[in-house]
Amino acid sequence: MGMIFDETYRPFFENAARDGLYDRRFGLCEVELAAVATRTGKRAEQYRNAAPAALKSFASFAGDDAITQLLASDVDVVCIATPDDRHFEIARAALAAGRHVLIEKPSVLSLAQLDELARLAESNRCVAKVVYHKLLDPDHKKLRTLVADGLLSHCNNGYCSLLEPKSISGSQFAEWITGRNPGTYVAVHYIKLIDFTFGGRLKRVHCTGQRGLVGPADGPTWDSTQLRLVYAYNDGREAAYDIHTSWVTPDNFPGYVEQEVQFRFDNGVWNGHSRRRGVECTIEGRTPIATKININNHYNGTFLEPDGTRAQRGYGVEVLEKFAREVAFVEYGGPASERDERLSRVRSLSYNDLAADRQVVAAVQAMEAILAKHAAGTSDCVVHVNDRHGGLVLYAPGSSVAEVLYAGPV
């Protein structure tokens, strides 16, 4: 029940409790916040006090066996919004208990973990999905539409940057930031955007980064990272993408995060800047700390609607509702005898299915391995994907030794 719970899950559950979830395929589905599992239970009680009446009655489990207790209770779906190195164990337990699962990005940190979750989802006939809300950003939907319709052809190269404020590394994540990097946390948004929008096969992964602000200059904790992915396409051509991330941008930056992309095609250039979509608002004594000058009204905005009601909505909330609809369709969208068919339709949605996250997880695993080598004294390693030694193979400069990170094909 951390930041992302408050930004997107809370409004999703509140909207669903108020309006229900209606769809011609399954009728009215009630979505109930049945139970939560947290480390101490404090945030659960804080939320209970603030929640609308319809949402106050959830069960709250805390402590070391909170997940076991949650899974023993009457929940159908488990949403996992813990720090990224704590997704796997919880997802594995939930899928093993036959619960549908939604995991915050990045889904997991290695292909071995992904294989295990995919196997459990398959054998227990569960929906297992990951949240990549940037795929629902209207600007990214337009980019994909132009590519799919052939108006933009063959992306040759591009860059993406996502800079998070210092408050993320300095206070919000301070407790578990040791050994972590901002690439795993936010480059994944753009890895997925590139992978999903342009297709192709991931071939090589390079990465470097800087240290010295969040932790010591020779330690394992990274301030910023620069990741390069090389993709190959069926026509023999390649594309390269640079993704720069940081979590040490000054807190008085005019926007909450800086997000910019440029993609260069054979016949065009796409420039996107999520912070400069149109609104700048200065309020004396508030901006840019208490509120930001550049506001993203598309992700998850709070609004006074024209009809006088208050709302919180945007693609960050919409992506959760889409997942709930997919689960409701599997469970209630027709006769029980056709459940498997509905399940396989929902699984074929590659924008969020765990099984379709392979190249993204491969890039994350490669990036983490390269950064770990760098921290241990060997910089500039490269990871090749699906070469003659294995699926994910790390090479250090000047060494002929192939270190196999993952043996099977990616």
Ligand X SMILES: NC(=O)c1ccc[n+]([C@@H]2O[C@H](COP(=O)([O-])OP(=O)(O)OC[C@H]3O[C@@H](n4cnc5c(N)ncnc54)[C@H](O)[C@@H]3O)[C@@H](O)[C@H]2O)c1
> Interface with ligand X by CB under 6 A: which residues?
1-4, 37-39, 43, 81-84, 86, 104-105, 131, 133, 172-173, 185
Q: How far is CA 208 from CA 145, 166, 331, 377, in A?
A: 33, 20, 45, 12
Residue 306 CB, nearest approach to ligand X (Å): 28
Which residue's beta carbon is nearest to the bound ligand X? Answer: 2
Residue 332 CB, nearest approach to ligand X (Å): 27
Q: How far is CA 342 from CA 122, 292, 326, in A?
A: 14, 43, 9
Nearer to ligand X, 37 or 94 (CB): 37
Residue 82 CB, nearest approach to ligand X (Å): 4
What is the DSSP secondary structure assignment for residue 110, as one 8-state letter?
Answer: S
CA dist 307 and 313 (Å) reads 15
Residue 371 CB, nearest approach to ligand X (Å): 17
119: CB partners within 8 A, 6+ apart: none
Nearer to ligand X, 172 or 378 (CB): 172
Q: Decide: residue 153, CB within 10 A, 0-12 exposed, 13-18 middle, 19+ buried.
A: exposed
Is the N-terminal amide bond of 288 cis, ω within 30° of 0? yes
Residue 104 CB, nearest approach to ligand X (Å): 3
Residue 101 · residue 67 · CB < 8 Å: no
Residue 287 CB, nearest approach to ligand X (Å): 22
Residue 391 CB, nearest approach to ligand X (Å): 24
What is the DSSP secondary structure assignment for residue 73, as one 8-state letter?
Answer: S
Residue 37 · residue 44 · CB < 8 Å: no
3-state secondary structure of 316: helix
3-state secondary structure of 90: helix
Residue 161 · residue 243 · CB < 8 Å: yes
Nearer to ligand X, 62 or 232 (CB): 62
Nearer to ligand X, 2 or 254 (CB): 2
Nearer to ligand X, 3 or 407 (CB): 3
**Count of residues making up the chain:** 410
Nearer to ligand X, 55 or 394 (CB): 55
Nearer to ligand X, 87 or 373 (CB): 87
